[in-house]
């Protein structure tokens, strides 16, 4: 059984957790929230909390394929009001910061965040790993090749499962050497992966249990779902629930989602099915 020490608040992963997504961006592929302002974003956060979210993941940078990078200053100016607004209303919910900038991670933890979620696993900012080690918070490491604006041109693998597994074996060693004690791995569905790669990773997700780390699955409303079904991201809730259920059945410890209620229902049903 895994646990996460989130700045003194202990999260048990005996039962899979649900992480709600708060995109503070104008150009997210689904539900960018920047134009709504901190008060409206708090209303969404409150809804997620009421629906059972265990973690809220706050991101100020769009990382969809081909997205344009913004500066760390602009990213911080986007997320700080949201962190403050949530903490003004709720001191208990665990917050995660979705960033590849070490300065944003550092400032966010000092402002009340207790998990760092980096799509580049420290590859895009050489100070990130030592910063997270000094902050002593859990670190979510995701597999990606290249950067969000180049990654889809690098979706080439001889064996995607083996290559991602080898990547994490090396990454776990380097994080441990730096002093990071709690690591969560994210195979990076949709990041430098084709739909076929994503399905192969999902089908083989249980292989990552050998790493002895919690596995996060971020499949929510992604193109693998809506392109396969020939629908839009807005119509991809049912498909998301199907893939989340497969991820849970194959060993995922955390689901990162836009739709908390449905994800919690999937967790509860898979738990009941497993224990009967």
- The catalytic site residues sit at 222, 256
Show contacts of 196-199: CB within 8 Å, 24+ apart. Answer: 197/155, 197/157, 197/160, 198/222, 198/224, 199/224
Q: CA 11, CA 6: separation in Å to the nearest integer?
A: 7
254: closest CA among 14, 5, 9, 74? 14
3-class secondary structure per residue, 141-190: EECCCCCCCCHHHHCCCCCHHHHHHHHHHHHHHHHHHHCCCCEEEECCCC
23: closest CA among 39, 12, 34? 34
Q: CA 33, CA 21: separation in Å to the nearest integer?
A: 10
């Amino acid at each position: 059984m895994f646990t996460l020490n989130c700045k003194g608040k202990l999260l048990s992963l005996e039962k899979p957790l649900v992480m709600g997504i708060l995109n503070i961006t104008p150009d997210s592929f689904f539900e960018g929230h920047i134009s709504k302002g901190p008060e409206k974003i708090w209303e969404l956060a409150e809804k997620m909390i009421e629906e059972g979210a265990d973690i809220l993941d706050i991101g100020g940078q769009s990382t969809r394929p081909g997205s344009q990078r913004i500066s760390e200053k602009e990213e911080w100016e986007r997320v700080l009001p949201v962190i403050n607004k949530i903490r003004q209303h709720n001191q208990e919910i665990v917050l995660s910061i979705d960033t590849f900038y070490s300065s944003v991670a550092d400032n966010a933890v000092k402002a009340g965040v207790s998990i760092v979620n980096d799509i580049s696993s420290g590859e895009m900012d050489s100070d990130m790993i030592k910063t997270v080690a000094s902050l002593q918070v859990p670190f979510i490491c995701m597999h990606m090749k290249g950067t969000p604006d180049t990654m889809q041109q690098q979706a080439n693998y001889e064996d995607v499962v083996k290559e991602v597994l080898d990547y994490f074996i090396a990454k776990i060693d380097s994080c441990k050497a730096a002093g990071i004690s709690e690591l969560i791995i994210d195979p990076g569905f949709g990041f430098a992966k084709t739909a076929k790669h994503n399905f192969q990773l999902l089908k083989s997700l249980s292989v990552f249990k050998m790493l002895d780390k919690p596995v996060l699955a971020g499949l929510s409303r992604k193109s693998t779902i809506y392109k396969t079904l020939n629908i839009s991201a807005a119509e991809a809730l049912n498909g998301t629930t199907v893939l989340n259920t497969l991820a849970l059945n194959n060993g995922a410890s955390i689901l990162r989602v836009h739709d908390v209620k449905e994800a919690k229902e999937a967790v509860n049903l898979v738990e009941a099915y497993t224990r009967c």
